[in-house]
């Protein structure tokens, strides 16, 4: 095949890929959406009212349905039951001959659209609650209603749009349920694979009185194929086809050479990158310092050592998983303050080094102060109040790397010894203003 014919065939091939990709995205938008609207005519679901009279309370409720939707008439009565409520229940449990209940698989749905309001006067501060209860044999027990995993979200209808939209993943598992069922961390998130009940109810702070709750519509929406899966398939198609074109364009020798070069780059990247945080590691620091020394022993640069304050206490109190999250988020935060020439290196544990080429000590101190302030003001996992201490040193003429590191380390020790959450400059007895 001559070059003109080959080019034409290649263009037709790429045009076909574009058409297939466009049709796949169009089909996903038009044909692959799913919707579950819950009405009295919905099959495989029983709809009824519930209230705390079922659990030793004294509240009473009735449920009606008209052209405007569901109307829950609720009389909240104070009793010995601490959490009075009235609710509209959508019951998906299907009677089976076996002892295990079966609900409805809502894992393919991601969004809830609900139109709900109070008809009661002075309703602006009245809250509502959307709740799910899921069965999982790993922790649920037949006959133990409280072992069904609760997912809940409370909101104030009068303060939202007419149609309230939220994601199922916005819901939370109540702490009382987690404490009562002692599930693993991986089981502590909401689940929707076998939903027994959905409920729309008064909120947890409702006070005694007469209320009317109108549920106009309740719809769950999702996709048969998630966006990320669709785009992954399209990307995989393009990658595979691109690979075939590459094979046709290149001979075996060039292809092998390219793969060898790519593997070398990947290996080098693995060697100099910290696996947890993605920043550079000690190996990279040696390379950077060696490169700087080769240019000139008198090259001007500064070194910042950063150490997270009381990091051991974070690991002890919240666990190493949270500690790892803190380290990862810290690297993201610090990286936003660095120029392309400045390098962030994880020196070990919770200690990091920032290499600042062509930077005087005063500018390095300003940088360290900015990072220190950002660390103190940032929001961290588990609402941890995080601070960090810093030591700064500027390379002196003819000074070797180990001596520079030692001075920066002494400055860091000074910050730690004088109260932490400080920046100290090597060569000065007092820490910079914190």
Residue positions annotated with a catalytic role: 350
Helix (H) or strand (E) segment spanning residue 34: strand 33-37
d(CA 165, CA 161): 9
Name which of 50, 198, 71 is nearest 129 in CA terms. 198
Residue with tokens 């949270």: 322
Q: For residue 214, count CB atoms less than 10 angstroms from its CB and return exposed for 0-12, middle for 13-18, buried for 19 or more.
A: middle
Under DSSP, the state recorded for 382 is G
Provide the sign of the torsion angle of the four alpha carbons 8, 9, 12, 18, taken in this order: negative
d(CA 37, CA 343): 54
- In 263-409 the beta strands, taken as DSSP E runs, fall at 301-308, 343-348, 351-357, 388-394
Name which of 31, 41, 44, 37 is nearest 163 in CA terms. 37
- Rounded to a whole number of angstroms, the distance between the first and last alpha carbons of the chain is 72
Asked if 228 and 236 touch (Cβ cutoff 8 Å), the reply is no
Asked if 113 and 130 touch (Cβ cutoff 8 Å), the reply is no
d(CA 287, CA 281): 10
Under DSSP, the state recorded for 190 is -
Asked if 150 and 129 touch (Cβ cutoff 8 Å), the reply is no
Q: Give me Rg for the CA atoms of the chain.
A: 31
Asked if 304 and 366 touch (Cβ cutoff 8 Å), the reply is no
Contacts of 429 (CB under 8 A, 6+ apart): 414
Q: Collapsing DSSP states into helix, strand and coil, what is residue 363? A: helix
Which strands make up the sheet holding 388-394, listed edge to edge?
Answer: 343-348, 351-357, 301-308, 388-394, 423-425
Contacts of 330 (CB under 8 A, 6+ apart): 277, 308, 352, 375, 386, 388
Provide the CA 251 distance to its chain's centre, in angstroms. 44
């Amino acid at each position: 095949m001559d070059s003109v014919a080959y080019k034409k065939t290649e263009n037709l091939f790429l045009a076909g890929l574009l058409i297939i990709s466009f049709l796949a995205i169009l089909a996903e938008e038009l044909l692959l959406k799913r919707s579950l609207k819950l009405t009295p005519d919905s099959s495989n679901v029983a709809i009824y009212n519930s209230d705390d009279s079922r659990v030793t309370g004294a509240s009473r409720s009735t449920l009606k349905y008209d052209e405007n939707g569901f109307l829950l008439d609720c009389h909240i009565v104070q009793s010995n039951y601490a959490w009075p409520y009235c609710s509209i229940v959508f019951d998906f449990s299907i009677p089976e001959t076996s002892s295990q209940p079966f609900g409805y698989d809502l894992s393919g749905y991601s969004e809830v659209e609900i139109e709900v309001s109070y008809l009661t006067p002075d309703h602006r501060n009245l809250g509502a609650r959307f709740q799910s209860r899921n069965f999982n044999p790993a922790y649920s027990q037949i006959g133990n209603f409280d072992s069904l995993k609760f997912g809940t979200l409370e909101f104030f209808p009068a303060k939202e749009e007419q149609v309230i939209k939220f994601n199922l993943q916005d819901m939370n598992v109540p702490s009382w349920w987690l404490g009562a069922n002692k599930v693993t961390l991986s089981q502590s998130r909401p689940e929707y694979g076998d939903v027994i009940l959905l409920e729309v109810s008064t909120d947890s702070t409702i006070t005694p009185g007469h209320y009317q709750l109108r549920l106009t519509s309740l719809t769950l929406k999702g996709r048969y194929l998630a966006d990320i899966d669709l785009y992954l398939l399209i990307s995989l198609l393009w990658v595979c086809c691109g690979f075939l074109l590459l094979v046709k364009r290149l001979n075996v020798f060039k292809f092998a050479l390219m793969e060898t070069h790519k593997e070398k780059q990947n290996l080098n990247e693995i060697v100099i990158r910290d696996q947890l945080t993605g920043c550079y590691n000690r190996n990279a620091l040696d390379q950077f310092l060696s490169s700087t020394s080769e240019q000139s022993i008198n090259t001007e640069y500064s070194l910042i050592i950063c150490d997270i304050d009381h990091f051991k206490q974070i690991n002890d109190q919240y666990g190493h998983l949270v500690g790892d999250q803190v380290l990862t988020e810290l690297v993201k935060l610090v990286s936003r303050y660095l120029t392309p020439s400045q390098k962030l290196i994880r020196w070990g544990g919770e200690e990091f080094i920032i290499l600042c080429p062509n930077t005087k000590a005063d500018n390095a101190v300003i940088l360290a102060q900015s990072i220190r302030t950002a660390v103190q003001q940032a929001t961290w996992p588990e609402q941890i109040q995080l601070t960090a201490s810093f030591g700064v040193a500027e390379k002196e003429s003819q000074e070797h790397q180990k001596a520079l590191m030692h001075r920066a380390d002494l400055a860091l020790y000074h910050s730690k010894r004088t109260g932490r959450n400080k920046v100290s400059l090597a060569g000065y007895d007092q820490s910079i203003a914190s």
